[in-house]
Structure 1
C-alpha cells in the first residue's frame, strides 16, 4: 500500500510528538528527583558518604570475617581502627600547622611589603599616599562590614555543628552497612521476587563492585601522589608539607579538578614562603607526579576501567560542585560511574530481549544466597 506524502508527514509528526511527551515526562521526573534529593540532602549525603566509606573499609572487614570474627566484632574493629588512624592524622597535621603559622605569617608580611615596593616603583610609580588611601578604604570597608562578618561567623558555627552531626550519622551508617550489608540482596530478592528483585540485585551488585574498585584504586593512587609530592615539599623545605600532602590525598578523590587545586595551593605556599625558584621546582615535581599517575598508576592499578570519558568526568565534577558544593564534587564521579553501570545493564537487557536467538524473559540471573563473608553487594 502506497503511503501518501501527507500521511507520511503526519506519522512523523505523531511519532515526534509522542516521544517529545515521553521525554518531557522523563525530564519532569528527573527534576522532581533532583528537588527531592535537595530537600533530603541532610539524609542523602550521610548515606552516600557511608556507602563510599563502606566500600573502602570492606576488604579489612572481609579479612576479619574469614578469620571467624562475628560480623558485629569485625565491623566494630574496623570502624574503631579507622577512627583512631584518622585521629592520629588530625593530631599530626594540627601540630604541623601550629608550628609553621609564624613562618607563614612572616613570609606573608614580607610578600606584602615586596608587593608594596613594586607598586610604588616603576612602571606603576604609585605614590605612598595612594597606597595608604587604598589601605584606609579597605579598613573602613571591613569596619562597616562587622555585622556581616559576625553573621557569617554564626553561620559558620551552625555549619560546623551540622557537619559534626553528618559525620556521626555517616559513621553509624558505615558501621551498619559493613555489618549487615551482606543480608541486603538476599532480603531484596526474597521480598521483590526473582524477577524485579533479580534485576535490581544484579544492578546493585555491579554498582557496588564498580564503586568499590574506584574508591580503593583512587585511595591507593592518591596515597602515592601525596607521598611523592609531600616528599618533594620536605626536600625543598616548604612549610606545611604534611598538611598539604594530606590535602593532596583527599583531593585525589576528585579527578582532574582536585589535583589542579591541591597542586596550585602547594605552589602558592612555596612561592610565598620560599620564593619563585622553589615554587617552579615544586610545580615541575607536581606535574611529573600527575603524569606518572595518569599514564602509569591508573592503567596498572585500575583493573576494570569505569568506562567514563574525561569530558564526562569533568562535567560530573562541575555539576556536583555547583549543585552540592565540595561534597557534590567528591561524590560526583562514583555517582556517574553508578549511573553508567545502570545504563550498561539496561543496554544488555535490551540486546538480550531483542535478540532472535533467545526469547525474552523477565528473569535475571540470581546468584546463591550471600554468605557472611560476601560483600554488602553480594560479591
Structure 2
C-alpha cells in the first residue's frame, strides 16, 4: 500500500511538533530540577506571604484601613515582635546556644562512656563506628555543632532575607502573581487551576496556624521541663524543640538529642528522667495537642508525613526536609481537586 500523498507532509509536521514538545518538556523538567532550590525559596516566600495575609486580612475587615495599609500594619507588627524578642531574649538565647556548643562535646564523651559500660552499648558504639568510618570520639565536635545550628553562613542569611522580602511582595499583590502563573496553562484549565490554587492557599493557612500553635506549645513545655530537670541552657533547648516541631516526627527526635546528651553530664538518673520527659511531652502532643489542633486545621496522615519528609529530603536536600509537610499539603489538595474532583469543602485529613 502506498500512503496518501496528503498524509506525507502533514504527518511529518505533526511528528516534528511532537518531538519539539517532548524536547521542550524534557528541557523544562531539567531546568526545574537544577532550579529546585530557587523554587523551594519561592515556596518559602509564599508561606511568608500567607502568614502576613492571615494577619492583614482581619485588620482590613475590622478597620477602615485599605488592603495595602493593613499589610503594612501586619509587616510592622511582625517586625516589632521580632525586634522585641531579639532585644529581650536574644542575648540569653545566644548565650545558651554558645553554652550548648561548649557542653555538648563533653556530654557526648560522658554519654559514650556510660553507654560503653554495657555489652549492648559497646555493640551499638561499634556499629556506629562502622557506619561512620571514623572513631566515635570524632563525633564529639559534630555533636557540638548542634548548639550552633542557628549560626548560618552569609549565603543562608541572604536567602532568608530574599524569602522575607519576596514574601512581602507576594502578600502585597497575591492575585498578580497567581494569575500571571496561571496564564501559562491552557485557557480551558484556568478556572479549575485557579480554584485548586485557592484551595491550596486556604489549606496552607490552616496548616501554618496549627504548626505555629504546636511550635509554641512544644517550645514552652520543653523549656519548663528542662528547668525542672536542671538541664543546662533550658531556653535554648526549648527554642530548638519549638523550631524542630516545624518538621514533624523527624524534628522531635533531633530536638531530643541535645537534651539527652546534656542530661548525661548530670548522671544516669537524669538521663532516664530526661528520656521519660521527652517521650511524655511528645505523647501529649500526639494524643491530645495535635488532635485538638486538627479539629480546626488541615491534618496530614502521619505515614504520609514521614514519607514526604524522606522523599522531599532525597529530592531537595535539607530544605526539602524543612518544607516537606507544607509541600505534602499542597500535593494532597491538588490530587483531591484536580484528580479526584473533590469540592472545596472536602477536608484534607486521614
TM-score (norm 2): 0.70
Correspondence list, 1:1-379, <5 A: 35-66=30-61, 67-90=63-86, 92-98=89-95, 101=98, 105=102, 109=106, 112=109, 160-182=153-175, 195-272=188-265, 274-303=266-295, 306=298, 308-349=300-341
* 1:318 CA drift (Å): 1.1
Q: Deviations over 1:48-85 (max 9, x none)?
A: 11112222332221122121223333223322332343
- Aligned pair in 2 of structure 1 residues 334, 103: CA closer, same or farther (>3 Å)? closer
Question: Does the 8 Å contact 1:226/1:249 carry over to 2?
Answer: yes
Q: Deviations over 1:301-351 (max 9, x none)?
A: 1236646432221111012223323321111111112111111113343x8
Q: Distance in 1 between matches of 2:114 and 2:179?
A: 71
Q: Distance in 2 between matches of 1:297 and 1:109?
A: 35
Local SS of the residue matching 2:305: helix
Q: Distance in 2 between matches of 1:237 and 1:115?
A: 21
Q: Distance in 1 between matches of 2:97 and 2:177?
A: 49
Question: Does the 8 Å contact 2:308/2:325 carry over to 1?
Answer: yes
Q: Distance in 2 between matches of 1:176 and 1:308?
A: 29
Q: Which has the higher contact order (CA 8 A, sep 6+)?
A: 1
Q: Distance in 2 between matches of 1:107 and 1:44?
A: 35
Question: Does the 8 Å contact 1:93/1:243 carry over to 2?
Answer: no
Question: Does the 8 Å contact 2:210/2:297 carry over to 1?
Answer: no
TM-score (norm 1): 0.65
Q: Deviations over 1:252-311 (max 9, x none)?
A: 111111111112222222223x22222322222221111111111222212366464322
- Aligned pair in 2 of structure 1 residues 34, 71: CA closer, same or farther (>3 Å)? same
Q: Distance in 2 between matches of 1:34 and 1:188?
A: 17
Q: Deviations over 1:133-190 (max 9, x none)?
A: xxxx99xx9xxxxxxxxxxxxxxxxx82221221121111111122212555677789
Which structure has the bigger radius of gyration?
A: 1
Local SS of the residue matching 1:253: coil
For the aligned residues, what is the CA RMSD? 3.9
Question: Does the 8 Å contact 1:100/1:239 carry over to 2?
Answer: no
- Matched residue, 1:153: none
Question: Does the 8 Å contact 2:209/2:297 carry over to 1?
Answer: no
Q: Distance in 2 between matches of 1:117 and 1:302?
A: 41
Q: Distance in 2 between matches of 1:190 and 1:322?
A: 31
Q: Structure 2 regions of 5+ residues with no counterpart?
A: 1-20, 120-133, 139-151, 345-350
